[in-house]
Structure 1
Amino acid sequence: MSPHAVIDVGSNTIHLLVGEVENGGVFPVTGEKVSARLGSGVDETGRIEEARIPVAAEAISLFARLAALNGAPEPAVLATSAVRDAENGPDLCREVLGKAGLEVRLVSGEEEALLGFRGAVSALGPDFSWEAPALVVDLGGGSAQIILGDGTDGPEKQVSLPLGSNRTTERFTRHDPPKAGELEALSDAVIEMMPGWGLPEGTEIVAIGGSARAILRLTKDQLTVERLRTLAAEISQKPAAMLAREEGLAPERARVMPAAITTLAAILERFDRPQLTVARGGIREGAILTMAEEARNGKRP
């Protein structure tokens, strides 16, 4: 069983995952991450800050060497919202090609949704009920992918929306900590942007992504609309630096958590679901599953 590797170039963080596939699941061999914050300011200026490009390229080059040391010499490099939305995104792609000899693939919102859904399904495991479809919310830094589908037939509907936690923080929460009115305005905007889908009875909402996983560090309670809104209010009583220190979060993650939690609460409210489930799989696991499938079928990943 040969491992596969993916380098996920996100708006907040660049992640490496080396994993092996067994029985439909991804078992990690190693993983690393670095906070390059490529999405910082992209919503306002349309460009990645120039100083961040060589840092990101160096990180990707290092991750490629680490992947090779762990038996995966040809990692897939996938770039999502920050790079595909920035007018100088191609500059990063050229820098990575020069430093690491790797092609960066700009993943469309639709493909990001498909990979995220596949990774989420693999992480939910055999105990998750598929009597009804699931609505998967892949909350990234620059965008959010909303995907409706089931574990057998895959996605039925998907939409990519500019609701990533970096973007909503920059647009709506000008203060640190954010004011209640800022989070209320964000909630209204999220509800307004949701697709007009009717969900079948029993459909669960599943959140994936770093901000969704970070919620599990902040509370062990059931993630109802009321609990999520209370949690957003609670963590908005202190600056992001204090939240990061007290809860063991990265400072850049702490800064976006009020907006991320508010976004998920609004989605839950819009679709009138009782609670949110958080899954630990996502685009990286979905990419590794796809690479393993292509390798079995004799295709080049």
Structure 2
Amino acid sequence: MTRVACIDIGTVTARLAVADVEGGRVQRMLKQSTICNLGEGLDASGRISDAARSRVVRCVDSYLSMAFQAGAPVACCTLTSAARDAHNSDELLTDLAKRGLRPEVIAGSIEGSLTFLGVAQDFGQKSLLVADSGGGSTELAIGRLTADEKAPGSYGLSLAWVRSVDVGARRATERYLAKAPTPADTVAAAREWAREEFSRALAERGDVDVPDTLVVTGGTATTLVALDAGLDPYDSRFVHLKSLPTRSVDALLERLAPLSVPERAKLKGIQSKRAPVILGGIAVISALLEATGATAMTVSESDLLFGLAICAAAAVEGVPAPFGWKPGLVVLR
């Protein structure tokens, strides 16, 4: 069994996973999530602010200490949409490198592939459409796991189509939904923008069929389940693989729009720091459901961190990963 630490820095959230991986599958994972809002103001300025960069660096310092104390011998660090978009990402990468990391800004196609790899562990060889709904982008991937007949118990990854769409909770919020309470016509405009972007991306998939099973991961998706059930405290075991019908997503969108941000923050099932962007996130997922024609989505607690842990462990063990990508690993001291 191989233990690895993985740090992923997104537009809204920075996350740590310390995972034990055996036979190419995650056997145990401890996760920590912190809302750092790296992408705050990025859509308008094109830059990561000094304040946002400082928040992320402080968070990563704490994560490295946690990972070392948890006995992880190696660590990797990826950055996604906000770092891809910002003109000054190098400043943050330099700060992270000073901490001994080898930070990597990964392409949307890699992000989508890692997420699919992590999510698909729970679905055998079933064909899936996996959506990673983030703060700055949503990654869509269609594919399935495949069995390796020459190595029983092993598997591969067959991806028919992967696409990163620049639609996410913070991007929708800053473009359309910054004011709260939010008028219905403004919500409709944000939702229509997201639907058009998803529909355009899906139209480019060629002859690849859209599977019947839509699995959505990310902070908005898990919060939707918690809000719908009024969870307090949050229970990841309840949320994981929960099915949520489209009508429930649309009902929550309608319910939250007339509320102020402080009122949204008081609802059971939502982190207070997520309240400023939750309406944008729900509008994005509502639009995704319409664009795909899905009547429900399955919500997964598994995500990019699971796929990243699998690839990191494969690199440590010197064996091929399910797809041709290796993270930059460093020894924790």
Q: TM-score, normalised by structure 2?
A: 0.82
| Residue 187 (structure 1) shift | 1.9
Q: Residue 259 of structure 2 aligns to a residue in which SS? A: coil
CA distance in 2, matches of 1:201, 1:37: 32
| Residue 248 (structure 1) shift | 4.5
| Residue 24 (structure 1) shift | 5.0
Match of residue 235 from structure 2: none
Match of residue 81 from structure 2: 81
CA distance in 2, matches of 1:201, 1:264: 17
Tell me the percent identity.
26
Q: Residue 177 of structure 1 aligns to a residue in which SS? A: coil
| Residue 60 (structure 1) shift | 1.1
CA distance in 1, matches of 2:254, 2:312: 41
CA contact (8 A) 1:29 1:70 kept: no
1:46 to 1:202, Cα distance in 2 relative to 1, 3 A: closer
1:222 to 1:97, Cα distance in 2 relative to 1, 3 A: closer
In the TM superposition, 1:32-71 aligns within 5 A as 32-71=32-71
CA distance in 1, matches of 2:132, 2:297: 13
CA distance in 1, matches of 2:123, 2:211: 18
CA contact (8 A) 1:19 1:30 kept: yes
Q: What amino acid maps onto 2:59 in structure 1?
A: A
Moved more, 286-295 or 213-222: 213-222
CA distance in 2, matches of 1:217, 1:275: 16
CA distance in 2, matches of 1:250, 1:183: 21
1:206 to 1:30, Cα distance in 2 relative to 1, 3 A: closer
| Residue 30 (structure 1) shift | 3.0
Per-residue Cα deviation, 1:15-43 (whole angstroms, up to 9, x for no partner) = 11101124654244533232221100111
In the TM superposition, 1:222-233 aligns within 5 A as 223-233=244-254
- Please point out which of 250, 253, 258 is paired with 2:279: 258
CA contact (8 A) 1:93 1:104 kept: yes
Match of residue 72 from structure 2: 72
Match of residue 244 from structure 1: 265
Match of residue 134 from structure 1: 128
1:202 to 1:53, Cα distance in 2 relative to 1, 3 A: closer
- Please point out which of 140, 150, 159 is paired with 2:144: 150
CA distance in 2, matches of 1:24, 1:239: 45
CA distance in 1, matches of 2:159, 2:262: 38
In the TM superposition, 1:208-219 aligns within 5 A as 208-219=217-228
Q: Residue 158 of structure 1 aligns to a residue in which SS? A: strand
Count of aligned residue pairs for this structure pair: 295
- Please point out which of 294, 309, 314 is paired with 1:273: 294
Match of residue 176 from structure 1: 180
**Is 1:161 matched with 2:165?**
yes
Match of residue 114 from structure 1: 113
Q: Residue 192 of structure 2 aligns to a residue in which SS? A: helix
Q: Residue 51 of structure 1 aligns to a residue in which SS? A: helix
Q: What amino acid maps onto 1:135 in structure 2?
A: L
Q: TM-score, normalised by structure 1?
A: 0.90
Structure 1 segments unaligned to the other structure (5+ residues) = none
RMSD: 2.1
Q: What amino acid maps onto 1:65 in structure 2?
A: S
| Residue 95 (structure 1) shift | 1.2
| Residue 177 (structure 1) shift | 2.5
* Larger RCO of the pair (alpha carbons < 8 Å, separation 6+): 2
CA contact (8 A) 1:138 1:208 kept: yes
| Residue 47 (structure 1) shift | 0.5
CA distance in 2, matches of 1:266, 1:68: 41
Q: Residue 288 of structure 1 aligns to a residue in which SS? A: helix
CA distance in 1, matches of 2:210, 2:276: 35
CA distance in 1, matches of 2:160, 2:120: 14
Match of residue 103 from structure 2: 104
Structure 2 segments unaligned to the other structure (5+ residues) = 147-156, 230-241, 321-327
CA contact (8 A) 1:143 1:163 kept: yes
Moved more, 57-66 or 203-212: 57-66
- Please point out which of 212, 215, 219 is paired with 1:206: 215
